[in-house]
């Protein structure tokens, strides 16, 4: 179901977990891209057509926030459930603990991925995290990405987890996927910081109400006030504009090549 021009997964976390396990068992390494996409990503997709094209090249865009779910259900995807990035990560880790699937953690400040590896073993019972990496804050060169991918491939990784911020993490995953030989590269936003206790998560009732953005704003005002002051009103405005115009989104620009082309920089 398209929400602001982005195809969102119409089911729930258990369905996505089952799909990942099935594909990992198939033996075919297709470098499938998965994104947990919230209002921030959807608004960015409206404002940057190239980013919308990139997201729609992903195999799965999971509805990370309740606003996206509400719009998706209103448009007809009645089975759509929130696939919150941290919950999705935890569910996959728990469900694959008994499988020989190999995980790689990529993201967070120095030491966060290593700490999350311990959390996976102690909290989720999954000891199959075989590597970690903390990317620099600057954009990585193609040579650096190739070196990272070589490390991932040598470890025979099945699932790469990327915990950065939107839209950086999606662009990073897309570029890295040109060099990896894995089943999935999955972006899960703040999951690394939440599961390591570096950032406090909103209570469940706040998450279900769609007000998690407000909880995060009052807990991290200096870092997030600019983002939410822009994202929240724009998400409402763009959806109302789409409704008023009776359109579900314009076609993709004809001058953009498919992200399947590794020479296309998005």
Domain boundaries, the chain: 2-201
Average the pLDDT over 214-218 and give the result. Answer: 65
Contacts of 145 (CB under 8 A, 6+ apart): 175, 176, 178, 179
Share of the chain above pLDDT 70, in %: 82
The pTM for the full model equals 0.85
Residue-wise over 43-56: b if at least 16 C-beta within 10 A, else e?
bbbbeeebbbbbbb
Question: How far is the C-alpha of 204 from the C-alpha of 185, rounded, in Å?
Answer: 27
Between residues 248 and 65, which one has the greater pLDDT?
A: 65
What are the tokens at 156?
Answer: 């025979």
Cα–chain center distance at 95? 19
Task: Give CA–CA dist 187/171, Å, rounded.
Answer: 10
Considering only residues 115 and 207, tell me which one the structure prediction assigns the higher pLDDT. Answer: 115
Residue 231 or 202, more confident: 231
The CATH class for the domain spanning 2-201 reads alpha beta
Mean pLDDT of the chain: 87
Q: Look at residue 95 and give its three-state secondary structure.
A: helix
- Of the listed ranges 74-78, 112-116, 231-235, the least confidently predicted one is 231-235
Which pLDDT score is estimated for 215? 64
Residue 263 has pLDDT above 50, yes or no: no
Q: How confident is residue 19, by pLDDT bands cut at 50, 70 and 90?
A: very high
Q: Is the model's pLDDT at 256 over the cut of 50? A: no
Percent of the chain exceeding pLDDT 90 equals 67
The pLDDT assigned to 242 comes to: 87
Quote the pLDDT of residue 28: 87
The per-residue b/e assignment along 224-234, b for 16 or more CB within 10 angstroms, e otherwise, is eeebbeebbeb
- The band of 190, judged by pLDDT with boundaries at 50, 70 and 90, is confident
Omega before 167 within 30 of 0, i.e. cis: yes
Residue 130 has pLDDT above 80, yes or no: yes
pLDDT at 260 over 60: no
β-partners of residue 217 are none
User: CA-CA distances (angstroms) from residue 10 to 69, 76, 186?
Assistant: 9, 10, 17
pLDDT band at 255 (very low <50, low <70, confident <90, very high): very low
Give the 3-state secondary structure of residue 39: helix
Q: What is the mean pLDDT of residues 30-58?
A: 96
pLDDT at 142: 96
Rounded to an integer, the average pLDDT of 211-222 is 67
Tell me phi and psi for residue 103, to 5 degrees. -110, 150
Q: What is the pLDDT of residues 54-112, one digit of tens each?
A: 999 999 999 998 999 999 999 999 999 999 999 999 999 999 999 999 999 999 888 99
At residue 99, the 3 state secondary structure works out as coil
What pLDDT shows up at residue 182?
A: 98
Greater model confidence, 194 or 222:
194
Q: Give the other-Cβ count within 10 Å of 28's Cβ.
A: 9
Are residues 104 and 161 in contact, defined by beta-carbon separation less than 8 angstroms? yes
- What pLDDT is stored for residue 214 in this prediction? 64
Q: Report pLDDT digits (tens) over 135-146.
A: 998 899 999 999
């Amino acid at each position: 179901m398209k929400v602001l021009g982005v195809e969102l997964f119409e089911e729930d976390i258990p369905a996505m977990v089952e799909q990942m396990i099935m594909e990992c068992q198939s033996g075919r390494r297709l470098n499938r891209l998965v994104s947990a996409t919230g209002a921030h990503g959807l608004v960015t997709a409206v404002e940057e057509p190239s980013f919308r094209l990139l997201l729609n090249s992903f195999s799965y865009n999971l509805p990370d926030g309740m606003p996206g779910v509400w719009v998706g259900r209103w448009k007809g995807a009645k089975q759509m459930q929130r696939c919150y990035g941290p919950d999705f990560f935890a569910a996959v880790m728990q469900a694959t603990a008994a499988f020989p699937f190999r995980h790689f953690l990529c993201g967070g400040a120095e030491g966060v991925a290593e700490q999350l590896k311990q959390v996976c073993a102690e909290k989720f019972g999954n000891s199959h995290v075989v590597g970690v990496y903390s990317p620099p804050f600057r954009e990585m060169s193609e040579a650096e990405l190739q070196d990272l991918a070589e490390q991932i491939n040598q470890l025979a990784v099945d699932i790469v987890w990327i915990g950065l911020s939107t839209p950086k993490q999606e662009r990073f995953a897309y570029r890295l996927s040109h060099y990896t030989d894995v089943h999935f590269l999955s972006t899960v936003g703040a999951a690394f910081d939440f599961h390591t206790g570096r950032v406090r998560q909103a209570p469940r009732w706040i998450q279900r109400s769609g007000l998690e953005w407000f909880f995060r704003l009052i807990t991290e005002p200096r870092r997030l006030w600019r983002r939410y002051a822009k994202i929240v009103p724009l998400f409402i405005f763009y959806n109302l504009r789409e409704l008023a115009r009776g359109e579900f989104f314009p076609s993709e620009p004809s001058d953009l090549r498919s992200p399947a082309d590794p020479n296309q920089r998005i």
